[in-house]
Structure 1
Amino acid sequence: MLKTNQDKLVMQSVQGKIHHPVSNYPYRISYLGEPRVLPATGGITYNVKVGDPAMGWAGDHVEPGVSIRNDNEGENGGLNLLSCIGNMAKVVSGDAKGALGYVTGKHGGVEHVLVYFKEEDLDKMSVDDKILIKAWGQGLELVDYPQVKIMNIDPELFNKLGIRERNGKLIVPIAAEVPAYLMGSGTGSTSAYSGDYDIMTSDDNVIREYGLDKLRFGDIVLIRDHDNGFGRTYSKNAVSIGVVIHSDCIKAGHGPGITTIMSCREPIIEGVKQDKANIADYLGI
């Protein structure tokens, strides 16, 4: 097992409310110039969950499970910064009080934290129900690989990813590899420690060529030639690893969202494709 500073990490409470979907204008314009009216972000999404296909839904930026945030901007910033994929979440108000789930992603722009709960618990929830998260993971480091930045992932989930060492490199099980030129909305952000950025899916032939038409929510993917250490930027030979957190989109420059969990400017991270490289498999959900 890789040596980390897990025993030094601080676990801290953060909390948010289930956020109602919002709309100020009914139409979303596709990259082909088509006006569409579609479900999008927020609320409780009952029939879309981690492990399901991320492509093909009659929706835009669909967030699986429960979407939470805070009205106070600073508090919402803390929720989005400190929450990590794999953190334990607990409903602390409403009819589903006591239900347990897991953080599955962080969606930039709308600044939502996404949480998985069982179907029977979703049926008991309401908008504005409060969800407490045991935030744990920011500050995680690899003792023998200080050049690798780790972010946005619970240490216990990180330990389940099956990362191996080989000839001074880290071999990460992945579901797919993404070329740098397909990364769109969110590229250029000053930090990757919250939110996500999107794989552009407007070219069907390229998406099929890389097998990205088969992506599922929760898949671990490798992004080639992108450094996410201090913002999201192109850097030849850099490698970033992330998790698919929201669905495909119709808007230009958008597509399935990726929350980063690892990044390095040096080419020491390699991916090996396998059938079960998805957080649903590692979390048993």
Structure 2
Amino acid sequence: MLRTNIEKTVIQSVQGKIHHPVASSPFRIGHDGSVNILPATGAITYNVSLGDPAFGWAGDHVEPGVSIKNEDSNENNALMVLACVGNEARVISGDAKGAKGIVIGKHGGIDHVLVQFEKEDMEKMAVDDKILIKAWGQGLKLLDYPDIMVMNIDPNLFLNIPIKEENGMLKVPVTAEVPAYLMGSGIGGSTAFSGDYDIMTADTETVKRLRLDRLRFGDLVLLKDCDNTYGRGYLKGAVTVGVVIHSDCIKMGHGPGITTIMTCKYSKIQGIIDENANIKNYLK
């Protein structure tokens, strides 16, 4: 088993409210020039869940499950940084009080943390219901691999991923590998410890050739030549592993969002293609 500093990592409460969708304009311009009115980010999305396809929805940047946020920007920054994929969440107000769920992603730009609950619990929820998260994961380190940075993932979930050690490298199950030239919106961000960045999908032939059109919410993917250590950018030989957290998009430069969970400036991470490499299969 990978040696980590798990016993030194801090568990801390963070909290947010279910966020109403927002729209400065009803229109969304597609990369083909089309004008669209579609559901997008925010609120409770009843019929889109962890494990569902990330493509094919009549929507844009659709967030599975429940989207939460804080009105105070500093508090929301802390929520976005400290909440990690796989963390336990609990409803603390409203008719669904006591219901438990799991953090499944962090969406930059709109700055939402995404939480999956059982569907019967979501039926009882309302906008502005409060959700508390036991934030745990930032600060997790691999003691034998100091060059590999781990972020945004619950330590128990991370240790449940069947990662193999071989000749100083980590072999990680992923459903697909993405070339750096397809990474778009969010690139150049100052940190990967919050939010996500998008796989661009306007080139449908390339997307199909790389089988990216089969991605599902929660899938692990490997990003080639992508450095997420101190921001997001291109670096030949760098490797990043992330989780698919929102749907495909119609807008130019956008597509399924990826929240980073591992990154290295050197080629010390190798992807092993496994169609079952989805966090849904590693959650207890």
State the TM-score bracket (shorter-chain normalisation).
Answer: over 0.9
Secondary structure at the aligned position of 2:282 is classed as helix
CA displacement at 1:214 relative to structure 2? 0.2
For residue 112 of structure 2, what is the aligned residue in structure 1?
112
CA distance in 2, matches of 1:38, 1:279: 28
User: 2:202 matched to 1:202?
Assistant: yes
Q: How does 1:29-44 map to 2 (within 5 A)?
A: 29-44=29-44
CA distance in 1, matches of 2:54, 2:30: 18
For residue 17 of structure 2, what is the aligned residue in structure 1?
17
Secondary structure at the aligned position of 1:283 is classed as coil
For residue 138 of structure 1, what is the aligned residue in structure 2?
138
TM-score where L is the length of structure 1: 0.99
Q: How does 1:158-173 map to 2 (within 5 A)?
A: 158-173=158-173
User: 2:265 matched to 1:265?
Assistant: yes
CA distance in 2, matches of 1:31, 1:204: 12
Q: How does 1:25-64 map to 2 (within 5 A)?
A: 25-64=25-64
Q: Structure 1 runs of 4+ off > 6 angstroms?
A: none
CA displacement at 1:142 relative to structure 2? 0.1
CA distance in 1, matches of 2:29, 2:74: 31
| CA displacement, residues 223-265 of structure 1 (integer Å, 9 cap, x when unaligned) | 0000000000100000000000000000000000000000000
CA distance in 2, matches of 1:279, 1:120: 21
The letter of the residue matching 1:203 is D
Q: How does 1:269-284 map to 2 (within 5 A)?
A: 269-283=269-283
For residue 152 of structure 2, what is the aligned residue in structure 1?
152
CA displacement at 1:24 relative to structure 2? 1.4
Identity, % of aligned positions: 64
CA distance in 1, matches of 2:22, 2:272: 40
For residue 91 of structure 1, what is the aligned residue in structure 2?
91
CA displacement at 1:275 relative to structure 2? 1.9
The letter of the residue matching 2:163 is I
CA displacement at 1:212 relative to structure 2? 0.1
CA distance in 2, matches of 1:100, 1:199: 31
TM-score where L is the length of structure 2: 0.99
CA distance in 1, matches of 2:82, 2:168: 30
CA displacement at 1:143 relative to structure 2? 0.1
CA distance in 2, matches of 1:120, 1:282: 23
The letter of the residue matching 2:193 is Y
The letter of the residue matching 2:56 is G
CA distance in 2, matches of 1:85, 1:170: 20
The letter of the residue matching 1:73 is S
CA distance in 2, matches of 1:15, 1:86: 15
User: 2:128 matched to 1:128?
Assistant: yes
CA distance in 2, matches of 1:274, 1:253: 27
CA distance in 1, matches of 2:23, 2:264: 38
For residue 227 of structure 1, what is the aligned residue in structure 2?
227
Structure 1: 5+ residue stretches without partners:
none
CA displacement at 1:282 relative to structure 2? 1.1
For residue 69 of structure 1, what is the aligned residue in structure 2?
69
Secondary structure at the aligned position of 1:71 is classed as coil
CA distance in 2, matches of 1:26, 1:19: 18
| CA displacement, residues 128-168 of structure 1 (integer Å, 9 cap, x when unaligned) | 00000000000000000011010000000000111110111
Q: How many residue pairs are counted as aligned between the two chains?
A: 284
CA displacement at 1:195 relative to structure 2? 0.3
The letter of the residue matching 2:259 is T
| CA displacement, residues 159-197 of structure 1 (integer Å, 9 cap, x when unaligned) | 011111011110000011000000000000010000000
The letter of the residue matching 2:123 is D
For residue 216 of structure 2, what is the aligned residue in structure 1?
216
Secondary structure at the aligned position of 1:216 is classed as coil
Secondary structure at the aligned position of 1:103 is classed as strand
CA distance in 2, matches of 1:149, 1:275: 24
